């Protein structure tokens, strides 16, 4: 919990929020196995793929409570990571993941034909907009720009996307 108050000339304004810092890194542990480390400790991920489908709204959740419930049930089932696939979810879903301690691996939504220079330019622009939109959410521990077979984008382009993603994050 974070509370900030500004006072001036007898007037004050207070805002309540939440705050956290998290260190995420990939490194070798004592057994020389590459692992994800969370706050300096090895963290074993147990995750599922979530396409964010809602029977009564397709890809739009009916309520904020439904978004929260989705994350809570995922935790109760023993998972600690959700790979968000096919879409960028409503910001409220990421906020619930932040508050409830759920890690997120964010995919680039949908399939693309990346065989042309124009398609690759648009892909990179859209991807970096997604990273910019979501990077403040502490729940996101992985960015997944490529999924399945998208026309085998040139290796130089793949390296550029990785470099740009790291710089944007």
Q: What value does the mean pLDDT take over residues 91-104?
A: 96
| Residue 138 CB coordination number (10 Å) | 19
pLDDT of residue 150: 64
Structural contact between residues 62 and 69, judged by C-beta atoms closer than 8 angstroms: no
Residue 113 pLDDT more than 90?
A: no
In 34-120 the beta strands, taken as DSSP E runs, fall at: 34-38, 41-42, 47-50, 81-84, 103-107
| Residue 89 CB coordination number (10 Å) | 23
Q: What value does the mean pLDDT take over residues 55-70?
A: 92
Structural contact between residues 67 and 96, judged by C-beta atoms closer than 8 angstroms: yes
**Closest Cα to residue 88, out of 73, 105, 100, 74?**
105
Question: Beta strands 41-42 and 34-38: pairing type?
Answer: antiparallel
pLDDT above 70: percentage of residues in the chain: 98
pLDDT of residue 158: 92
Q: pTM for the full model?
A: 0.86
Residue 153 pLDDT more than 90?
A: no
Q: What value does the mean pLDDT take over residues 34-46?
A: 92
Residue 1 pLDDT more than 80?
A: no
Mean pLDDT of the chain: 91
Residue 149 pLDDT more than 70?
A: no
Residue 54 pLDDT more than 80?
A: yes
At 98, phi and psi to the nearest 5? Answer: -55, -50
pLDDT of residue 111: 64
**Closest Cα to residue 67, out of 93, 97, 38?**
93
| Residue 48 CB coordination number (10 Å) | 12
Is pLDDT larger for residue 73 or for residue 149?
73
Structural contact between residues 23 and 41, judged by C-beta atoms closer than 8 angstroms: no
Q: Give CA–CA dist 40/80, Å, rounded.
A: 17
Structural contact between residues 46 and 76, judged by C-beta atoms closer than 8 angstroms: no
């Amino acid at each position: 919990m974070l509370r900030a108050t500004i006072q001036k000339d007898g007037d004050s304004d207070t805002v309540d929020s939440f705050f956290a810092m998290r260190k995420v890194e990939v490194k070798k542990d004592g057994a020389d196995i590459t692992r994800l480390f969370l706050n300096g400790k090895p963290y074993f991920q147990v995750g599922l793929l979530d396409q964010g489908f809602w029977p009564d709204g397709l890809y739009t959740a009916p309520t904020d409570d439904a978004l929260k419930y989705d994350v809570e049930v995922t935790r109760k089932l023993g998972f600690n990571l959700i790979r968000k696939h096919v879409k960028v979810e409503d910001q409220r879903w990421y906020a619930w993941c932040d508050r409830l301690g759920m890690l997120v691996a964010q995919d680039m939504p949908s399939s693309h034909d990346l065989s042309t220079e124009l398609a690759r330019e648009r892909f990179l622009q859209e991807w970096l907009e997604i990273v910019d939109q979501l990077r403040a959410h502490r729940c996101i521990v992985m960015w997944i720009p490529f999924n399945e077979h998208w026309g085998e984008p040139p290796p130089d382009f793949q390296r550029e996307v990785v470099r740009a993603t790291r710089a944007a994050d």
